[in-house]
Amino acid sequence: MFQDYHEVEPDQPLSSRAANAAFPLEAALRELQCAAHDLAIAETADLISDNRVVMLDGMIRACQADAARSTAEEAEALWSAAASLGEERAELAETLPLEHAFHADQKDLARARMRASQRRLRSWLHLSCATGCAAPGFDPNIAPDEARALVREALALTPEEVSRRARFEARARLYEISAGDEDAPLDAASTQCAARIAVLLVARARDRLEALSGSSRVREC
């Protein structure tokens, strides 16, 4: 139940993709994006876990209310359904603390990874600003001013902002589901939507970095 929100192939975790980047600064940007993505996924999974209990409570109350207005035969079936849902809720309540503990560990790890990546980026930025040129280890095809702008944009993304965006988007998606939106995904795969929003700033910085690098190489050819 804990792994259902991950979309990463087992043989290629997100962090390994970051480590394979050509330049250290690009690797730091990618690792920051990966960590923000994992934080958003864990935040959303936490909300989904709680929402399962809320949904079961609502279904139980609906069955009980309908039973009070139904015929004896229908009421018996509704009370039986409510009892089955109650058993499912009890089982879920037993595992919920374990899920929350797991998600908390994942969030702590992701936040630590974000801060570590941003320390690397901040160190590079300080060195670049002090020397007035791109520090060693960064793609030489990128102008120093543009590189510094990309790093500043990535540094503006805080773990708190990632969590806030992810939880806001998750609540919006869960509201759509409860409101009967037929196009809304009903399982934890919907967390990808929150994750994409949560890492928007870093993704944009990385894409701009790669685009600039590619255009510079084309001009040289």
Please provide the average confidence, as pLDDT, over all residues in the chain: 74
The Cβ-side half-sphere exposure at 111, using a 13 Å CA radius, reads: 14
Cα–Cα distance measured from residue 110 to residue 170, given in angstroms and rounded to the nearest whole number: 18
**Quick one: average pLDDT of 23-43?**
89
Q: Which residue would you say has higher pLDDT here, 132 or 6? A: 132
Identify the weakest region by mean pLDDT among 82-86, 165-169, 191-195: 191-195
pLDDT > 80? residue 14: no
Report if pTM > 0.85.
no
Give the tokens for residue 39: 């934080």
Cα–Cα distance measured from residue 141 to residue 21, given in angstroms and rounded to the nearest whole number: 15
Contacts of 103 (CB under 8 A, 6+ apart): 42, 43, 45, 46, 49
For residue 65, what pLDDT is reported? 87
**Quick one: average pLDDT of 164-187?**
65
pLDDT > 90? residue 103: yes
**Quick one: average pLDDT of 212-219?**
52
